[in-house]
Amino acid sequence: MTLTINGKVGQFSAPLSLTALLGMLNSQNKRVAVERNGEIVPRSQYEVTQLADGDQLEVVVAVGGG
Amino acid sequence: MNEWVLAGRSYVSRLLVGTGKYRDFEQTKLAVEASGAEIVTVAIRRTNIGQDASEPSLLDALPLSRYTYLPNTAGCYTAEEAIRTLRLARELLDGHDLVKLEVLGDTRTLYPNITETLKAAEVLVREGFKVMVYTSDDPIVARQFEAMGCVAVMPLASLIGSGMGILNPWNLQIIIDEMSIPVIVDAGVGTASDAAIAMELGCAGVLMNTAIAQAQDPVRMANAMNLAVRAGREAYLAGRMPKKMYTASPSSPVTGIIGS
């Protein structure tokens, strides 16, 4: 399936949970927030969220800023 | 202790600092410590995918247990982008709802787009966010943000990152006099005297980033700003002497002068 993550398109094999994806992206231990198709995914739902073909994901962190 | 209250919580330091433009996290940490700030602004950005998770992060340098994070919407040019960013921030910070809203008008001036900011503020307040809003120094607009339920208005002293200082103290004074929520002067402070002048006007606090981060010695400037904000506040509370235009008044006794 095709997923767009932070604007970059990639191919992934289904089934894939959000927790598994964050693991693949090396982001499982970082404090992140995720938006899937414009909706926030609560952290408690990462495990049960199964990603689907065409999903658009934004994965964000806090960085230095004014 | 000279505390102030923001969105129901007391703070001692009236200096709020940004965390951008530092050389590294170590310098960020030292400068923030020297500033005495309790509230620090952060930006929300896409994570660098594939980056080693053990690499240092801002959260290690500035622990959430010690500082109040103020996620901002820097770089947002529409109400929609700003709202999305702050919803992500709230999730990122475990439901933390104190936020800095800024919706910019153009990339050259970074001047706030008030129409979009008003739209975003309305939605965010409805969704339960405690909104500190970056705005122009227009007193009527400030009044609208207060009426809407924002927890602080943050008028600019001059353009973001310009270091031009306080260009219109008169407008800031009107805003400070009229508001019952905290007024924080945000953006444009260049050096310690600017911060002191802002505080002497009676504002609740000052928010700055570039003036510290881009100083030759950021940690030392952070300390200077810490002192300036406190000095300005003390001067405001002390009440300055009235200005006497074109009239001198000797400080020493005028009697008992030898030979008189």
**CATH number for A45:** 3.10.20.30
Substitution target from B47, B86, B127 for chain A, most A beta carbons within 10 A:
B47
Catalytic residue numbers of B read: 100
| Residues in contact with B56: Cβ distance below 8 Å, sequence separation at least 6, in sequence order | B25
Domain with A30 in it: 2-61
In angstroms, the CA B180 to CA B158 distance is 23
Examine residue A15 and state whether it is found in any structural domain, yes or no.
Answer: yes
Examine residue A66 and state whether it is found in any structural domain, yes or no.
Answer: no
Report pLDDT for A26. 77
* Residue of A32, A41, A64 with shortest CB distance to B19: A64
Examine residue A54 and state whether it is found in any structural domain, yes or no.
Answer: yes
Contact B72 A66 (CB under 8 A): yes
Contact list, A12 vs chain B (CB under 8 Å): none
Q: What is the pLDDT of residues A20-64, one digit of tens each?
A: 999 988 777 788 999 999 999 999 999 999 999 999 999 999 999
The values of phi and psi at residue A37, to 5°, are: 50, 40
> How many angstroms separate the Cα of B249 from the Cα of each of B241, B243, B246, B257, B258?
12, 11, 10, 16, 20
Report pLDDT for B53. 65
Number of domains in chain A: 1
Examine residue A53 and state whether it is found in any structural domain, yes or no.
Answer: yes
**CA B59 to mean position of chain CA atoms:** 20
Examine residue A20 and state whether it is found in any structural domain, yes or no.
Answer: yes
Examine residue A35 and state whether it is found in any structural domain, yes or no.
Answer: yes
What is the DSSP-derived secondary structure letter of residue B72?
Answer: B
Q: What 3-state class would DSSP assign to A10? A: strand
Report pLDDT for B89. 96
Examine residue A11 and state whether it is found in any structural domain, yes or no.
Answer: yes
Contact B59 A31 (CB under 8 A): yes
Is A54's Cβ below 8 Å from some Cβ in B? no
Task: Map tokens 């006497």 to a residue.
Answer: B244
| Residues in contact with B215: Cβ distance below 8 Å, sequence separation at least 6, in sequence order | B221
> How many angstroms separate the Cα of B79 from the Cα of each of A60, B117, B122, B142?
19, 6, 10, 17
Average pLDDT taken over every residue of chain A: 92
Report pLDDT for A6. 94
What string of H, E and C letters represents the secondary structure of B31-61? Answer: HHHHHCCCEEEEEEEECCCCCCCCCCCHHHH
- Cβ–Cβ under 8 Å, residues A3 and B23: no
**Which H or E run contains B246?**
none
Contact B92 A65 (CB under 8 A): no
In angstroms, the CA B139 to CA A15 distance is 55
- pLDDT by residue for chain B (260 residues), tens only, comes to 589 999 999 999 999 999 999 999 999 999 999 999 999 999 999 998 766 666 788 998 999 999 999 999 999 999 999 999 999 999 999 999 999 999 999 999 999 999 999 999 999 999 999 999 999 999 999 999 999 999 999 999 999 989 999 999 999 999 999 999 999 999 999 999 999 999 999 999 999 999 999 999 999 999 999 999 999 999 999 999 998 888 888 899 999 999 87
**Which H or E run contains B175?**
helix B169-178
- To the nearest whole angstrom, how far is the Cα of B20 from the nearest Cα of chain A? 4
Tell me how long chain B is: 260
What string of H, E and C letters represents the secondary structure of B92-133? Answer: HCCCCCEEEECCECCCCCCCECHHHHHHHHHHHHHCCCEEEE
* Residue of A5, A34, A41 with shortest CB distance to B49: A5
Do strands A8-11 and A2-5 pair parallel, antiparallel, or not at all (unpaired)? antiparallel
Which ipTM score applies to this complex?
0.92
Examine residue A45 and state whether it is found in any structural domain, yes or no.
Answer: yes
Q: What 3-state class would DSSP assign to B152? A: strand
In angstroms, the CA A11 to CA A55 distance is 11
**CA B213 to mean position of chain CA atoms:** 14
Contact B18 A66 (CB under 8 A): yes
